[in-house]
Amino acid sequence: MTDALFDNLRALLKPSIAWFTLFAAVMLTIFGSLAIGTVEAGYGETQVKMWLPVAVVAMLVVMIPHPRWIGHMTYPLLILSLISLVYLLVPGVPMVRPINGARSWITLPGMNLQPAEFVKIFFVLGLARYLRYRDSYRTFLGLFVPFILMFVPLLLILKQPDLGTALLFAPTLFAVLVAAGAKLRHLLSLVALGVFAIALVIVVTLFAPDNLQLLKPHQQDRIRSVFSLAQGDDRTANADGFQQATAMRLISAGGMSGYGKENSQTIISYSGLPEAHNDMIFAVVVNRWGISGAFSVIALYFIFITSALLVAARSKDPFVRLSCVGFAAMIFTQSFVNIGMHLGLLPITGITLPFISYGGSSLLSLFIITGLVMNFAVRPNAILARPSFEYDNADAIYQ
């Protein structure tokens, strides 16, 4: 038993593609701590000295169990995490303190834990677990169950409300379904439906009278400001679109090589950019390091995502394959939405930039993901109980 464990651990240290994943994760975290240090002295250090070790320990822990065991624990953990989301919404329960009107955190001694961060992980694992041996979702109606699997946590998170996190679920589901071989025309028709719904919301926001509005006033303003800023109309820049306009200005001013630490510190503090260490950290990165900073960050995300996809490609375990795709899709969506809102392509939604934004729970969950990817990378072979989701993998080994 002990020998087996040591064998396992030794295997973990073998070079694998997942080392690129780890490299990207650590580099992004260091980048993040420097960026955070630009705007909130002390926070950057906390991120590296306090949260990074905790996250690395968590990463090492999740590297130990075999993917099979992880698969066994997936459903109970998913249910447990969903219960924690329900708990957050029960009025008057202890250890839940609304912050800025959102019931998203459980107060523990020394830290605030954000259960949604962990639900994201278990959602991906749960989805992979559900899809691994099936092909039912290749019919249109077969998509029903995966969608239910998405809507339960999605609605609970929307209720907190935490629109940013909730936004990640649908793209992740789509990516996993694409990888699992769902019919593209089914998915595209659903995407078309979604796009139509979003377009409808935008049209209603822009043109409908007040009594027919669907979104809350502050959400309407954000959508309007994206359109007005994109049209070069800076009249909302002093009011509703302030956050976005300021971020765009700071990014533009960064130029090729940025302002450097001290100048950037002054400029950002005078600009009054809200949430600079958190949601709006990409503006800080580009302002300090310029386009080269942006390129580095985006390149690191690309490394993270491609290496995770390569791990999926090398693995023969359908659960591992789909989990890795899910994690890659989640990081991709989160970084795209965050950077997109900085560049004026998407409205402000309150979503963090993975690894770079300040936040303990977030870093913890991201390193758990990294640990899982590393774990999966060194255990590419699997003994299957049934044929996997992939109809043409003739070389599979069955139990």
Q: Which residues pair with residue 96 across a beta bridge?
A: 106
Q: Which of residues 317-346 bind other proteins (CB under 8 A)?
A: 321, 325, 328-329, 332, 336, 339-340, 343-345
Query: CB of 299 within 8 A of CB of 27?
Result: no
Eight-class DSSP state of 384 = B
124 lines the binding site for other proteins (CB under 8 A): no
305 lines the binding site for other proteins (CB under 8 A): yes
Q: Which two tokens stand for residue 222?
A: 């954000």
- Over its C-alpha atoms, the chain yields an Rg (Å, rounded) of 22
Identify the residue among 17, 131, 312, 341 touching other proteins (CB under 8 A). Answer: 312
Which region, judged by CB under 8 A, interacts with other proteins, from 11-19, 45-53, 357-365, 390-398? Answer: 390-398
Instruction: Report the residue number, 122 or 259, with the smaller CB distance to other proteins.
Output: 259
Q: Which of residues 260-299 bind other proteins (CB under 8 A)?
A: 266-267, 270-272, 286, 290-291, 294-295, 298
390 lines the binding site for other proteins (CB under 8 A): yes
Distance CA 205, CA 214 (A): 7
Compute the least distance from the CB of residue 383 to other proteins, in Å: 18
The candidate with the shortest Cα–Cα distance to 63, out of 366, 386, 373, is 373
Instruction: Report the residue number, 15 or 42, with the smaller CB distance to other proteins.
Output: 42
Compute the least distance from the CB of residue 189 to other proteins, in Å: 17
Eight-class DSSP state of 389 = S
Which region, judged by CB under 8 A, interacts with other proteins, from 12-20, 45-53, 54-62, 86-94? Answer: 86-94
Distances (CA, A) of 97 to 22, 84, 104: 34, 14, 8
Instruction: Report the residue number, 116 or 369, with the smaller CB distance to other proteins.
Output: 369
Q: Which of residues 140-199 bind other proteins (CB under 8 A)?
A: 175, 178-181
Compute the least distance from the CB of residue 233 to other proteins, in Å: 7
3-state secondary structure 55-106: HHHHHHHHHCCCHHHHHHHHHHHHHHHHHHHHHHHCCCCCCECCECCECCCE
Query: What's the first-to-final CA gap in the chain, in angstroms?
Result: 22
Tell me the torsion sign for CA atoms 226, 268, 364, 105: negative
Tell me the Ramachandran region of residue 355: left when phi exceeds 0, alpha when psi lies from -120 to 50, beta otherwise.
left
Print the binding letters for residues 11-50 with other proteins: x by CB under 8 A, - otherwise: ----------------------------------------
Which region, judged by CB under 8 A, interacts with other proteins, from 43-51, 243-251, 348-356, 358-366? Answer: 243-251
Distance CA 96, CA 90 (A): 9
Q: Which two tokens stand for residue 43?
A: 């926070």
Tell me the Ramachandran region of residue 100: left when phi exceeds 0, alpha when psi lies from -120 to 50, beta otherwise.
left
Q: How many residues bind other proteins (CB under 8 A)?
A: 63
381 lines the binding site for other proteins (CB under 8 A): no
Compute the least distance from the CB of residue 83 to other proteins, in Å: 21
Identify the residue among 6, 69, 196, 391 touching other proteins (CB under 8 A). Answer: 391
Distance CA 374, CA 62 (A): 9
100 lines the binding site for other proteins (CB under 8 A): no
Q: 161: cis peptide before it, omega within 30°?
A: yes
Instruction: Report the residue number, 342 or 379, with the smaller CB distance to other proteins.
Output: 342
What residue type is assigned to position 314 of the chain? R
Compute the least distance from the CB of residue 313 to other proteins, in Å: 5
Binding site for other proteins (CB under 8 A): 91-92, 94, 175, 178-181, 206-207, 209-210, 217, 224, 228, 233, 235-236, 238-239, 248-256, 266-267, 270-272, 286, 290-291, 294-295, 298, 301-302, 305-306, 309, 312-313, 321, 325, 328-329, 332, 336, 339-340, 343-345, 389-393
